[in-house]
Amino acid sequence: MSGPDARDAAPDSGTRRVAGYSVPGEGSSVAISIATVIALFALWWVATHFGWIRDIFLPQPERIFTSFIEAWNGEIQGGKPLWEHFMWSLIRVFAAFALACVTAIPVGIAMGVSRVWRGIFDPPVEFYRPLPPLAYLPLIVIWFGIEETAKIVLIYLACFAPLAMAARAGVKSVMIEQINAAYSMGASKWQVIRHVIIPAAMPEIFTGMRIAIGFGWTTLVAAEMVAATAGLGQMVLNASNFLRTDVVIMGIVVIGAVAYLFDLLMRRIERLVVPWKGKA
């Protein structure tokens, strides 16, 4: 093989060819990400140690690590250890996320395959989707009180809309030729949905799941404003009242790290479940 086709087929750990264009590979992207993190950390260290930024606005990196140790041992305000805050937040976010997956994905698929279901669910979903969670937080408290149900419902609503929209978009991305081919082989409507539409929509659904869990963690702080005594969001809010910027940043780092690790897990599962994604 020679010519452009040979160049396109040549293996390259750094780049790959898509429609005649070079696309950076995973290896080069990871290296750039690591270099960016190191550069930002170095800038943070220099800015705080040379007094460019006051400590109350941005503490030194060592202070953040010290705050993590103190929080882990329960030596900050409230007396609860960090792992307890972490477990409560994890339960709230993943309970809401699991409930959203169970309900939003079928709703999104139904919206994609049926005009009737699209007409039923599209107005309410599109109406509340752009609303910030703090806008309907008072209503959630009135309806569900100040117990755990209100917190989970608030996070659930934040996760529901992006999941439903992603599932609907995934159904719409299925090629009509695939559906017609299944019908021509004698498949029923439910068989087409199960064996053609859902597998073809899975890449979009996984993207929606990754977006939804991000919204879940974003809504966590608002959810834990509702009479919470434990949780990462509650810890951050409480620390801000005492101007403990080091604890605030430490909580933000923990929340971001957990969300990022879950996103990496979702990417791994996506590669196993839909290995054909991104391949011609």
Report the CATH number that the domain containing residue 143 is assigned in CATH: 1.10.3720.10
71 and 24 inside one domain: no
Question: Is residue 54 in some structural domain?
Answer: no
107 and 234 inside one domain: yes
144 and 201 inside one domain: yes
Question: Is residue 82 in some structural domain?
Answer: yes
What is the pLDDT, as a whole number, of residue 15? Answer: 54
Task: Please provide the DSSP assignment of the chain as one string.
Answer: --SHHHHHHS--SSEEEETTEEEE-HHHHHHHHHHHHHHHHHHHHHHHHTTSS-TTTS--HHHHHHHHHHHHTT-STTS--HHHHHHHHHHHHHHHHHHHHHHHHHHHHHHHH-HHHHHHHHHHHHHHTTS-HHHHHHHHHHHHTTSHHHHHHHHHHHHHHHHHHHHHHHHHTS-HHHHHHHHHTT--HHHHIIIIIHHHHHHHHHHHHHHHHHHHHHHHHHHTTTT-SSSHHHHHHHHHHTT-HHHHHHHHHHHHHHHHHHHHHHHHHHHHH-TTTT--
133-165 pLDDT tens trace: 888 888 998 998 888 888 999 999 999 999 999
What is the pLDDT, as a whole number, of residue 1? Answer: 44
**Structural domain containing residue 234:** 61-273
What is the pLDDT, as a whole number, of residue 97? Answer: 93
81 and 152 inside one domain: yes
42 and 109 inside one domain: no
171 and 194 inside one domain: yes
Question: Is residue 279 in some structural domain?
Answer: no
Question: Is residue 56 in some structural domain?
Answer: no
* Domain total of the chain: 2
80 and 146 inside one domain: yes
100 and 42 inside one domain: no
What is the pLDDT, as a whole number, of residue 233? Answer: 83
For the chain, what is the radius of gyration of the CA atoms? 23
Low-confidence spans in the chain with pLDDT less than 50: 1-13, 18-19, 21
Question: Is residue 213 in some structural domain?
Answer: yes
166 and 246 inside one domain: yes
Which pTM does this prediction carry?
A: 0.77
Asked whether the beta carbons of 57 and 245 are under 8 A apart, the reply is yes
What is the pLDDT, as a whole number, of residue 161? Answer: 92
79 and 170 inside one domain: yes
Question: Is residue 26 in some structural domain?
Answer: yes
Question: Is residue 280 in some structural domain?
Answer: no
17 and 126 inside one domain: no
How far apart are alpha carbons 35 and 47 in whole angstroms?
Answer: 18
What is the pLDDT, as a whole number, of residue 162? Answer: 92
Distances (CA, A) of 212 to 54, 160, 205, 216, 262: 36, 7, 10, 6, 12
Percent of the chain exceeding pLDDT 70 equals: 88
Phi, psi torsion values for 15, nearest 5 degrees: -135, 165
203 and 106 inside one domain: yes
Question: Is residue 216 in some structural domain?
Answer: yes
